[in-house]
């Protein structure tokens, strides 16, 4: 690690850093990405997990943002059909909240703004003859259906890093940038691993994709001025046992003008979110508060026949949105658009990312590298929009993949084949390897987690702890009990004596 030198160092292994690293590596730049914790350990695993245009942003006249996000849906559905899939949304009509003409106009724009190709258009529904009507209170008789897409958010980050690594990038997790000194011809960055080991690297350019830490990075690590600031807005979700057994999601209008989603989640659960709470102080691990749980339960109870309360919550998660500060008073109305700032005046190139959404990460990364690469003498064209699937996304039809995995390996239970394909796509074959029986998959850690998957995640996806595997590479945390989780943690701790061994194994 001593005195390594790169074209570009990317700070932050959330979706924006991962996207920038992939794009830049694919254009031939030598790239190092450093992430202080696990990949997607912060905001990028705490989202509502929608690749969406953002229907409600139309009310804020954010037409450009909505059009950009809607057109990205189609690109991303093609690039990663195993972790991004179409989802139909049901919006029950409440005429005192928004009149039907307003919703119809919004949905018309939503259908037409973003060059929709594969997704179904919107239409009105009558709940008496629609499966989505079943779990709703009888006062809701009509509504609307429209399309967006679902994404396994943390996996999107990992797949971008895997693709970046396959194009030559080096990905260092659990390694933070402690200081960054800017000279005329490059950056000298001091790195520190979680174990306290430090090292120095050099890079000709630096991309600050530190998400909620982007401003702190400039103030405290790099000592650089910045023209924009961020608003940190916490959002939380709750997970409850399945409230309905069809595959439509709901978008529920609330009396405070906000909307709350209720989404089918991990086969047996319902995901409900989100909140918007101003976050003061340092970003970092945030947790849900009692009044957020209450708010989300009440939001669902307004619509579902079956009432839920705090005792029904089986899991919750929270994250901090790094939003571009546009001086908006209402937290849910702050823009979700991003700004990319290239600063070349103060020495070697510095690119800063302020704001953004998962949905627009690929465009953001493309814009960022379009700006940055010429400063590093690279004039390669943008490439990520042109039929370059993310790892595992080579087969456009995951259902076919499940069928062929089951045909070639009949011992794999249908639910496991489905879970593997909708997380790893074609890479499920790497996990199976030569196995001819469940016993060949190695130690069983609980639910349907076997050593073969754990080994794959360690060897190919930078997983190091039980939490990496149970809550980010998968959502098996919902299914393993405490002793099974501990056993997995012990197993992983024994596998890697030191973090340096870990990073060496992934080089």
Ligand X SMILES: Cc1cc2nc3c(=O)[nH]c(=O)nc-3n(C[C@H](O)[C@H](O)[C@H](O)COP(=O)(O)OP(=O)(O)OC[C@H]3O[C@@H](n4cnc5c(N)ncnc54)[C@H](O)[C@@H]3O)c2cc1C
By CB under 6 A, residue 251 contacts ligand X: no
For ligand X, the closer of residues 39 and 416 by Cβ is 39
Q: At what angle do helices 153-166 and 15-26 cross, to 10 degrees?
A: 20
By CB under 6 A, residue 17 contacts ligand X: yes
CB of 462 vs ligand X, minimal distance in Å: 12
Pick the binder of ligand X from 94, 122, 316, 359 (CB under 6 A).
359
| Structure token digits, residue 412 | 């794999």
Nearest C-alpha neighbor of 18 from the set 143, 173, 212? 173
For ligand X, the closer of residues 277 and 428 by Cβ is 277
Pick the binder of ligand X from 22, 321, 363, 472 (CB under 6 A).
321
By CB under 6 A, residue 11 contacts ligand X: yes
Alpha helices of 92-232 — where are they, by DSSP H? 100-112, 153-166, 214-216
Pick the binder of ligand X from 9, 13, 244, 337 (CB under 6 A).
13
For ligand X, the closer of residues 216 and 246 by Cβ is 216
Residue 105 CB partners (closer than 8 Å, separation 6+):
none
For ligand X, the closer of residues 80 and 432 by Cβ is 80
Range in contact with ligand X (rule: CB under 6 A) among 13-21, 197-205, 367-375, 495-503: 13-21
For ligand X, the closer of residues 315 and 411 by Cβ is 315
| Structure token digits, residue 235 | 């959002």
Nearest C-alpha neighbor of 21 from the set 415, 445, 361, 435? 361
Q: Report 192-221 residues binding ligand X (CB under 6 A).
A: 209-213, 217, 221
With H, G, I as helix, E, B as strand and everything else as coil, classify residue 199.
Answer: strand
Nearest C-alpha neighbor of 150 from the set 105, 119, 104, 116? 119
CB of 220 vs ligand X, minimal distance in Å: 9
CB of 412 vs ligand X, minimal distance in Å: 31
Q: Report 162-191 residues binding ligand X (CB under 6 A).
A: 176-177
Pick the binder of ligand X from 114, 133, 235, 349 (CB under 6 A).
235
CA angle 192-197-203, nearest 5°?
45
Terminal-to-terminal C-alpha distance of the chain: 11
CB of 494 vs ligand X, minimal distance in Å: 26
DSSP assignment of 296-360: HHHHHHTTBSS---GGGEEEEEEEEEEEE----SSGGGS---EEEEEE-TTSS-EEEEEE--STT
Residue 27 CB partners (closer than 8 Å, separation 6+):
369, 373, 378, 380, 381, 383
By CB under 6 A, residue 356 contacts ligand X: yes
By CB under 6 A, residue 264 contacts ligand X: no
CB of 272 vs ligand X, minimal distance in Å: 12
Say which DSSP state 37 is in.
Answer: S
For ligand X, the closer of residues 92 and 319 by Cβ is 319
| Structure token digits, residue 415 | 């639910």
By CB under 6 A, residue 12 contacts ligand X: yes
For ligand X, the closer of residues 12 and 186 by Cβ is 12
For ligand X, the closer of residues 64 and 486 by Cβ is 64
With the C-alpha atoms ordered 408, 413, 419, 423, is the resulting torsion angle positive or negative? Answer: negative
- Number of other CB atoms surrounding residue 344 within 10 Å: 13
For ligand X, the closer of residues 59 and 305 by Cβ is 59
CB of 335 vs ligand X, minimal distance in Å: 12
Nearest C-alpha neighbor of 199 from the set 34, 38, 41? 34
For ligand X, the closer of residues 147 and 274 by Cβ is 274
By CB under 6 A, residue 319 contacts ligand X: yes
Pick the binder of ligand X from 9, 15, 340, 428 (CB under 6 A).
15
For ligand X, the closer of residues 320 and 376 by Cβ is 320
By CB under 6 A, residue 50 contacts ligand X: yes
CB of 288 vs ligand X, minimal distance in Å: 11
* Contact call for residues 126 and 111 (beta carbons, < 8 A): no
* Contact call for residues 429 and 405 (beta carbons, < 8 A): yes
Range in contact with ligand X (rule: CB under 6 A) among 55-63, 126-134, 243-251, 318-326: 318-326
Q: Report 99-118 residues binding ligand X (CB under 6 A).
A: none
Range in contact with ligand X (rule: CB under 6 A) among 313-321, 366-374, 406-414, 419-427: 313-321
The count of residues interacting with ligand X (CB under 6 A) is 40
For ligand X, the closer of residues 56 and 427 by Cβ is 56
| Structure token digits, residue 143 | 């509504």
Q: CA–CA separation, 121 vs 108, rounded Å? A: 9
Q: What are phi and psi of 147, to 5 degrees?
A: -110, 145
By CB under 6 A, residue 274 contacts ligand X: yes
By CB under 6 A, residue 358 contacts ligand X: yes
CA angle 221-224-229, nearest 5°?
95
Q: Report 30-49 residues binding ligand X (CB under 6 A).
A: 34-37, 41-44, 46-49
CB of 413 vs ligand X, minimal distance in Å: 31
Radius of gyration of the chain (CA): 23
Task: Let me know how long the chain is.
Answer: 507
For ligand X, the closer of residues 180 and 402 by Cβ is 180
- Interface residues with ligand X (CB under 6 A) are 11-17, 34-37, 41-44, 46-50, 52, 176-177, 209-213, 217, 221, 235, 274, 319-322, 356-359
């Amino acid at each position: 690690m001593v005195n390594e030198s790169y074209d570009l160092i990317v700070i932050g292994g959330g979706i924006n850093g991962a996207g920038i690293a992939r794009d830049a590596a694919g254009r031939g730049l030598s790239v190092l990405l450093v992430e202080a914790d696990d990949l997607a350990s912060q905001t990028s695993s705490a989202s509502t997990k929608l690749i969406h245009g953002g229907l409600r942003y139309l009310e804020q006249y954010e037409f450009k943002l909505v059009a950009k996000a809607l057109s990205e849906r189609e690109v991303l559905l093609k690039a990663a059909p195993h972790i991004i899939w179409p989802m139909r949304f049901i919006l029950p009509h409440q005429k005192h909240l928004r009149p039907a003409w307003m919703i119809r106009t919004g949905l018309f724009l939503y259908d037409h703004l973003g060059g929709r190709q594969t997704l179904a258009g919107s239409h009105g529904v009558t709940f008496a003859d629609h499966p989505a009507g079943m779990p709703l209170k009888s006062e809701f008789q009509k509504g609307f259906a429209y399309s967006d897409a679902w994404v396994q958010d943390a996996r999107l980050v990992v797949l971008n890093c895997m693709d970046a690594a396959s194009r030559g990038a080096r990905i260092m997790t659990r390694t933070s940038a402690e200081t960054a000194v800017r000279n005329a011809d490059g950056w000298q960055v001091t790195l520190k691993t979680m174990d306290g080991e430090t090292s120095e690297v050099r890079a000709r350019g630096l991309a600050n994709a530190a998400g909620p830490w982007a401003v702190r990075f400039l103030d405290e690590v790099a000592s650089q001025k910045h023209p924009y600031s961020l608003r940190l807005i916490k959002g939380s979700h709750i997970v409850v046992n399945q409230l309905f057994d069809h595959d439509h999601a709901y978008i529920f209008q609330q009396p405070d003008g906000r909307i709350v989603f209720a989404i089918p989640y991990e086969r047996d659960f319902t995901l409900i979110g989100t909140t918007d709470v101003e976050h003061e102080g340092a970003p970092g691990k945030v947790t849900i508060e009692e009044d957020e749980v209450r708010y989300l339960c009440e939001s669902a109870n307004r619509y579902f026949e079956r009432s839920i309360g705090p005792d029904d919550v089986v899991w919750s998660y929270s994250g901090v949105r790094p939003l571009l500060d546009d001086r908006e008073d209402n937290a849910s109305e702050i823009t979700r658009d991003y700004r990319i700032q290239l600063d070349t005046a103060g020495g070697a190139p510095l690119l800063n990312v302020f704001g953004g959404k998962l949905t627009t990460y690929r465009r953001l990364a493309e814009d960022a590298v379009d700006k940055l690469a010429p400063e590093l003498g690279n004039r390669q064209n943008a490439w990520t929009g042109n039929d370059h699937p993310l790892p595992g996304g080579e087969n456009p039809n995951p259902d076919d993949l499940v069928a062929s995995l089951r045909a070639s390996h009949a011992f794999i239970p249908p639910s496991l084949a489905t879970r593997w394909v909708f997380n790893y796509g074609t890479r499920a074959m790497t996990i199976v390897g030569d196995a001819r029986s469940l016993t060949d998959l190695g130690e069983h850690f609980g639910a349907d987690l076997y050593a073969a998957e754990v080994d794959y995640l360690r060897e190919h996806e930078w997983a190091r702890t039980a939490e990496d595997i149970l809550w980010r590479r998968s959502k098996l945390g919902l299914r393993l009990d405490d002793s099974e989780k501990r056993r997995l943690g012990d197993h992983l701790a024994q596998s890697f004596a030191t973090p340096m061994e870990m990073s060496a194994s992934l080089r």
